[in-house]
Copies of this chain bind each other. A is one copy, B any other.
Amino acid sequence: MMNAHILSIGDELLIGDTVNTNAAWIGRFLTEHGFRVEEIRTITDEAGAIRHAIRSAMDRAALVITTGGLGPTHDDITMQVVAELFDRELVLSEQVLEQIEKQFSRRNIELTAANRDQARVPEGSEILDNTQGTAPGVWLQTEHSALAVLPGVPYEMRSIMESGVSEKIRQGFSKLQIQATRYLKTAGVTESMLSSQLVGNLDNYLREGNGIAYLPSPSGVTIRISRSGNSREEAEERLDPVVEHIRGKAGDAVYGEGRDLSLSAVVGKLLHERNLTIATAESCTGGRIADTITNVPGSGDYFSGGMVTYAYEAKTRQLGIPWEILREHGAVSLEVALWMAREVSKAFDADVGISATGIAGPGGGTSAKPVGTVWMGFWIEGRHFALKARFTNDRNINKERTVMTTLDTLRRQLLGFDSFPYDLKPQTL
| Binary per-residue interface labels of chain A (291-323) against chain B in the complex, 1 for a CB within 8 Å, 0 otherwise | 101110111100111111111011001100000
Given contacts A286-B293, A308-B287, A361-B297, contact A16 B39 (CB under 8 A): no
Separation of A305 and B13 alpha carbons in the complex (Å) = 41
Within 8 A of B (CB), among A313-343: 313-314, 317-318
A349 interface residue (CB < 8 Å to B): yes
Partner of A298 from the list B305, B314, B363 (CB cut-off 8 Å) is B363
Q: In the complex the two chains form, is B291's CB within 8 Å of A286's CB?
A: yes
Q: Is the CB of B286 within 8 A of A294?
A: yes
Q: Which B residues touch A137, using CB under 8 A? A: none
A14 to B288, CA, bound (A): 34
Q: Which residues of chain B have C-beta atoms less than 8 A from A347's C-beta?
A: 317-318
Contact residues of A between 13 and 46, Cβ < 8 Å to B: 13-21, 23-29, 31, 37-44
Please judge, given known A-B contacts A14-B38, A15-B27, A25-B16, whether A314 and B304 are in contact too, CB under 8 Å: yes
The residues in A between 61 and 97 inclusive whose CB is less than 8 angstroms from any CB of B are none
- The answer on a CB contact under 8 Å between A42 and B44 is no
Most chain B Cβ neighbours within 10 Å, of A27, A31, A286, A288? A286
Assess whether A224 is interfacial by the CB under 8 Å rule.
yes
Q: Which of chain B's residues has its CB closest to A314's CB?
A: B305
**B17 pairs with A13, CB closer than 8 A:** no
B19 x A20 contact (CB < 8 A): yes
Contact A224 B17 (CB under 8 A): yes
Tell me the minimal C-beta distance from A299 to chain B in angstroms: 8
A31 to B44, CA, bound (A): 13
Least CB separation from A294: chain B residue: B286
A241 contacts the other chain (Cβ, under 8 Å)? no
**Given A14-B38, A23-B20, A24-B18, A311–B300 Cβ distance below 8 Å?**
yes
Do B14 and A42 touch (CB < 8 A)? no
Docked-complex contact A28 and B40, CB < 8 angstroms: no
What's the nearest-Cβ distance from chain B to residue A310, in Å?
5
Q: Is the CB of B294 within 8 A of A306?
A: no
Known: A286-B290, A287-B294. 14 other contacts (CB 8 A): A13-B24, A13-B27, A16-B28, A17-B215, A18-B24, A39-B41, A39-B44, A287-B308, A288-B288, A295-B399, A298-B363, A304-B310, A314-B348, A317-B348
